[in-house]
């Protein structure tokens, strides 16, 4: 996740406009046959180690200071997602940090997802930078790099008793990863498929029960999702879970989300999980770093407020559940405005936080009293 430009919304937007009904009045799409349960109730808390080391405090709805994972568990979370960067300048979110916090996650009785960016910094639809150590490697060597690095992190986690329950082979890889070698150009998925196969094989060699996730930010469009997942399937790529990012400001209506989830679930025969979603609790900014999301009502007809945030998150969960998905993860709910925990890993002390209005904790660490994860 990092900010990127919105794309075309699907037919649902035009339909809602035609009948002159705001999406917020309609609520989440439902299906009479849907009887699904969300089993992966997740939170990506990749920044929380740094926040805690800087003295951040987290308070439950009753005003009691507690470990943030305990607060999240009390709100229904059963799964934690942690990103891993190869060699970030700040040192945060590297292998050693992930190994350390994985012990905390597992000790709390939570499941663990590892999100491989295969980069020293953010990877998302607009950028997929190779790690500096792999900068001059071609596709042949990159296959070995992906295999060895994935194996090393997974095996190290397993050997300390914190085997990951799932791993992402790449983060929001809409048009590939490890550019330019692994970028999809002219609809050619060959190189990307080689990298994804290497990651899959390394994960299964480490632990056959660890689920492999292929993650895109293609919740905006069935056409985009089909183009990508059809492309990798045609090349023989295997995966266990299909993952999407959904932010209503970039990916359109809940009606559209419902259709995309339903389509990819049935088309590929694999469980679907939203590994990223979030909504602002305020339009204000806590620091000098511009917020990724602005506005008092950025989308969905909900105010940027604690109530609006809780409602939007509830509706996203309802939509995912009704469409037959198995999980929803909130992205960085604990990353509130803590000086020194900046956005840029190359300047973590000198940059601010673009997500301070999107966390579920306010700027003094009080949790949104209305937000819940629900099966």
Rounded CA separation 183/104 (Å):
36
**Hey, which residues does 40 pair with through a beta bridge?**
327
For tokens 């849907």, name the residue: 34
What is d(CA 333, CA 367) in angstroms, rounded to the nearest whole number?
9
**Which is the catalytic residue, given 276, 289, 297, 332?**
276
Alpha helices in 160-244 (DSSP H): 190-206, 222-234
Q: How many CB atoms lie within 10 A of CB 7?
A: 16
d(C-alpha 180, C-alpha 73), whole Å:
40
Please confirm, yes or no, whether 276 is among the known catalytic residues: yes
73: which 2 tokens? 């568990």
CA dist 6 and 17 (Å) reads: 18
Q: Which of 172, 289, 297, 332 is catalytic?
A: 172
Active site residue 289: no
Give the span between the Cα atoms of 56 and 44, in whole angstroms: 17
Structure tokens at 327: 């999980």
Residues known to be catalytic: 172, 276
């Amino acid at each position: 996740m990092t900010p990127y430009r919105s794309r075309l919304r699907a037919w649902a937007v035009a339909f809602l406009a035609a009948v002159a009904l705001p999406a917020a009045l309609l609520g989440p799409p439902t299906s009479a046959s849907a009887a699904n349960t969300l089993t992966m109730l997740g939170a990506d808390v990749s920044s929380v180690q740094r926040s805690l080391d800087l003295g951040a405090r987290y308070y439950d709805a009753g005003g009691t200071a507690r470990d943030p994972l305990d607060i999240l568990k009390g709100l229904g979370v059963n799964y934690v997602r942690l990103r891993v960067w190869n060699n970030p300048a700040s040192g945060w979110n590297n292998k050693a940090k992930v190994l350390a916090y994985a012990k905390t996650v597992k000790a709390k009785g939570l499941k663990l997802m590892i999100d491989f960016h295969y980069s020293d910094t953010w990877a998302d639809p607009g950028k997929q930078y190779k790690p500096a150590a792999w900068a001059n490697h071609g596709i042949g060597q990159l296959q070995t790099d992906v295999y060895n690095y994935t194996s090393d992190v997974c095996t190290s986690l397993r050997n300390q008793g914190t085997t990951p329950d799932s791993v992402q082979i790449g983060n929001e890889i809409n048009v590939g990863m490890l550019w330019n070698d692994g970028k999809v150009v002219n609809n050619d998925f060959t190189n990307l498929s080689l990298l994804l196969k290497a990651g899959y094989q390394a994960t299964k060699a480490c632990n056959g029960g660890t689920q492999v996730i292929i993650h895109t930010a293609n919740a905006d469009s069935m056409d985009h999702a089909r183009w990508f997942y059809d492309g990798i399937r045609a090349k023989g790529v295997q995966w266990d879970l299909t993952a999407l990012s959904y932010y209503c400001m970039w990916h359109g209506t809940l009606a559209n989300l419902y259709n995309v989830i339903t389509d990819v679930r049935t088309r590929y025969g694999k469980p679907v999980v939203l590994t990223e979603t979030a909504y602002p609790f305020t339009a204000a900014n806590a620091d000098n770093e511009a917020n990724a999301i602005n506005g008092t009502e950025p989308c969905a007809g909900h105010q940027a407020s604690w109530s609006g945030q809780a409602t939007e998150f509830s509706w996203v969960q309802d939509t995912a559940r009704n469409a037959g998905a198995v999980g929803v993860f909130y992205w960085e709910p604990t990353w509130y405005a803590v000086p020194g925990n900046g956005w840029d890993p190359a300047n973590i002390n000198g940059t601010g936080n673009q997500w301070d209005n999107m966390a579920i904790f306010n700027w003094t660490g009080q949790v949104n009293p209305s937000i819940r994860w629900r099966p």
